[in-house]
């Protein structure tokens, strides 16, 4: 186990490197670096690593499981430096757990069914929260092992969410099938980008977030138009 100061230095260096790679990928796509947000996925990180990242000025953190999210929020509650953190829920969400997420996160990336959208609406209505920002997760590859909505069902779910007063649809999220070759993800990301543009044309500029790209393929995702990337291993090892 590295000492806390060594862990902090390693995270700060990895963060700077990821930021450089993001900026270069944005430039290749003809976009300014600030057009791409970075969500740090903390599922494999230590508390020291998280605090080092937050200490370096980073605000957006994510977990993919509800229980881990709750544990992280509790662990950071006593750390004054973490007051500015915004949490993202990026993993599969079960309807019976929505109460543990609504009001605690700034964006839910993983809405993939009408029944889940309705459960979120009900939880937000009950607590009378401001509109909950959500993305629809698409399963573009059609892999059976992946969560996410089939692209053919996108228009109907988006239209339904638009009728729910406590939800605000901000865009789309997708994951490419696992591969060692980042280029394998490009057609998936390009397809998601086209679906995103169609959604934005239908619903307007409040649809502004395209969450795609992980440690193995985030540069390709940014070249294909991602506005948010979700990165764990490249930051925390």
Ligand X SMILES: *Cc1c(COP(=O)(O)O)cnc(C)c1O
Q: Which stretch binds ligand X (CB under 6 A): 14-22, 158-166, 182-190, 229-237?
A: 229-237
Q: Does 231 sit near ligand X (CB under 6 A)?
A: yes
- In the bound state with ligand X, the residue whose beta carbon lies nearer, of 220 and 231, is 231
- In the bound state with ligand X, the residue whose beta carbon lies nearer, of 106 and 198, is 106
Q: Does 46 sit near ligand X (CB under 6 A)?
A: no
Q: Does 91 sit near ligand X (CB under 6 A)?
A: yes
- In the bound state with ligand X, the residue whose beta carbon lies nearer, of 182 and 232, is 232
Which of 11, 26, 41, 116: binder of ligand X (CB under 6 A)? 41
DSSP-assigned states of every residue in the chain = ---HHHHHHHHHHHHHHHHHHHHHHHHHTT--GGGSEEEEE-TT--HHHHHHHHHTT--EEEESSHHHHHHHHHHHHT-GGGGG-EEEE-S---GGGGGGTTTT-SEEEEE--HHHHHHHHHHHHHHTPSPEEEEEEE--S--TT--SB-GGGHHHHHHHHTT-TTEEEEEEEE-PPP-S-GGGGHHHHHHHHHHHHHHHHHH-TT--EEE---TTTHHHHHHTT-SEEEESHHHH-
Which of 15, 45, 61, 64: binder of ligand X (CB under 6 A)? 64
- Minimal distance, residue 78 CB to ligand X, in Å: 26
Radius of gyration of the chain (CA): 17
**Residue list 156-215, contact with ligand X (CB under 6 A):** 175, 214-215
Q: Total number of residues binding ligand X (CB under 6 A)?
A: 14
- In the bound state with ligand X, the residue whose beta carbon lies nearer, of 31 and 233, is 233
Q: Does 149 sit near ligand X (CB under 6 A)?
A: no
Name the residues that contact ligand X, by CB under 6 A: 41, 43, 64, 90-91, 175, 214-216, 230-234
């Amino acid at each position: 186990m590295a000492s806390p100061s060594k862990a902090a230095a390693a995270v700060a260096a990895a963060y700077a490197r990821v930021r450089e790679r993001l900026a270069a990928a944005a430039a290749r796509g003809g976009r300014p670096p600030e057009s791409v947000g970075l969500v740090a996925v903390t599922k494999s990180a230590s508390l020291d690593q998280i605090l080092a990242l937050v200490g370096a000025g980073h605000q957006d953190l994510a977990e993919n499981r509800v229980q881990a999210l709750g544990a992280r929020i509790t662990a950071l509650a006593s750390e004054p430096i973490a007051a500015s953190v915004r949490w993202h829920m990026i993993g599969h969400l079960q309807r019976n757990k929505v109460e543990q997420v609504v009001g605690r996160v700034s964006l839910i990336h993983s809405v993939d069914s009408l029944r889940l959208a309705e459960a979120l609406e009900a939880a937000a209505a009950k607590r009378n929260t401001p509109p909950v920002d959500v993305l629809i997760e698409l399963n573009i590859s059609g892999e059976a092992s992946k969560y996410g909505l089939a692209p053919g069902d996108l228009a109907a779910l988006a239209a339904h969410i638009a009728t729910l007063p406590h939800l605000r649809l901000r865009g789309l999220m997708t994951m490419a099938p696992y591969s060692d070759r980042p280029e394998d993800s490009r057609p998936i990301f390009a397809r998601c980008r086209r679906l995103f543009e169609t959604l934005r044309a239908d619903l307007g500029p409040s649809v502004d977030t395209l969450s795609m790209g992980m440690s193995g393929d985030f540069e390709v995702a940014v070249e294909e138009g991602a506005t948010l990337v979700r990165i764990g291993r490249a930051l925390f090892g």
